[in-house]
Homo-oligomer: A and B are copies of this chain.
């Protein structure tokens, strides 16, 4: 097992192999992929599809002198195996040594921490520009999937490279005819035309941007790839190497269902069964349920997603059912948000849904295209919690600081199922405000709630008490409840418990009211406190005798942490907060 892979300690070892051994190496890498993915999950299809290209790249080029930039870097597993990190794949006890993305802390062969799409060409032009300033001669290679091409950052960079960078840059376009879900956008028709004509079509998107271009039909053939990479090595201008690959290659299930196997949970290799129970109700499944029902009742309702339908549980059959009321714009967050503003302006009822971290791409569009115009767009964000994705590139803990300080945007933080659905429906129906809704990151909870949100920034007192007021925002409401009951039990008085509901503004009347019978306000929020909700409360009371203690995460790029340990480290367990309260009152 892994006979050839075990001999590879650096790219130099790849260069020693003959054609047959390179084929065995590819098979070894796939076995290693199975070993890791079946046990801890991760990006599946992208890694299976790029094995041959990765081998050929390391065979032809000379990393780390030559520099690779992997777009999203979710397809960098084989690269890691060939650059001294095979143990993270073949030895179960070493899995934690390797992140799922390129990581300069792991190896000099990784130039950047990357997890968002469409960045590779830009980053690579920077490496090339610095090389040129310094008089260097190394190759700079960006590897980008077809799905990532539609992102504005990639398009801007391709346009730049096509005229402004007049030196070596090799852009390998890994065309597997798939984004996360199916591809969307006009450029994909051009890629199809290019594949069908083996690169000879007169109309060529890359050439229209001024880029040189070569096509390789057999993107899973090591020898063919070696030949094309050797041809472009040391080229003196930017060139696109368009390679046609099979996503999921070598794993039948992933070849057949490319969307389902883009990313996977741990699974049984024989049956493909994921080791996870999907039957439980989740905020994602609730979202899909709401969308399907709403769309049928209201023809103005439309769901827009930048290539992340699964963030709303919209698998293919549901998307088909939504028909014209579902728009996947491809990986294009900026366009998704601005288009929604246009829809809202013209009387439609748009909801844009994606993962919180990716919505950062549309900061300016949220501010300018939507909020200045006060158009009633609903932006629904999944994975906003510290307890969600823990890779440094995918953190959702910046949601409130990033967006809740944009004027006119009403940011809602629901605390349970009933409130979530009521907020979603209220947002879609009202015509006054742009609204962002933070999907709770915890298990679905249920309780009776008030469902009128028309009076912006009205907080809800869920329990009236004395001395200590707990403002527990969004999915930290349950922590607030627990804290309230602990205070009553251990300190002998009943504190006030407030559900702020609105993360973007203060209920000044309620806060002034609290000042009478309370001497300490505790804020709890599921995210970074800098620029967040608690700091607004602190500032409100800052010139008054009311003390405020805000709990949340620190302004930091956490990476692959244990969520519960992190809370403890930050002094945020109920026990730790109790100790603080005792010392403050």
Q: List residues of A whose CB falls within 8 A of some B CB.
A: 67, 69, 104, 111-116, 119, 122-134, 150-153, 155-164, 184-190, 202-205, 207-211, 299-300, 302, 324-325, 327, 329-330, 332, 334-335, 338-348, 350, 360-361, 363-365, 367-369, 371-373, 392-393, 398, 401-402, 404-408, 505, 520, 528-532, 534-536, 538-539, 541-544, 547-550, 555-557, 584
Contact = CB atoms under 8 A, between A and B. Distances in A.
Contact of A124 (B162, B163, B334, B342): B342
Given A163-B185, A189-B162, A548 B557 contact: no
Contacts of A530: 405, 536
Given A125-B339, A343-B126, A556-B407, A160 B547 contact: no
A584 B543 contact: yes
B365 A364 contact: no
Contact of A123 (B129, B164, B342): B342
Considering residues A156, A203, A398, which has the most beta carbons from chain B within 10 angstroms of its beta carbon?
Answer: A156
A539 B401 CA distance: 14
Copies of this chain assembled into the complex: 2
Query: Which of A104, A122, A163, A544 has the most C-beta atoms of chain B within 10 angstroms of its own C-beta?
Result: A122
23 contacts: A104-B373, A119-B368, A123-B339, A123-B345, A127-B343, A127-B345, A129-B339, A133-B343, A134-B346, A153-B335, A156-B329, A156-B332, A157-B332, A159-B330, A161-B186, A163-B186, A190-B208, A202-B203, A203-B204, A398-B406, A530-B536, A538-B542, A543-B548
B338 A300 contact: no
A26 B300 CA distance: 41
A342 B185 contact: no
A128 B404 CA distance: 29
Task: Identify which of A124, A161, A186, A393 gathers the most chain B CB atoms within 10 Å of its CB.
Answer: A186
A535 B543 contact: no
A150 to B, nearest CB: 5
B542 A327 contact: no
Q: Which of A345, A542, A556 has the most CB of B within 10 A?
A: A542
A405 B531 contact: yes
Contacts of A104: 373
A212 B40 CA distance: 47
Contacts of A393: 368, 372
Contact of A157 (B111, B131, B339, B345): B339
A155 B159 contact: yes
A346 B164 contact: no
B363 A122 contact: no
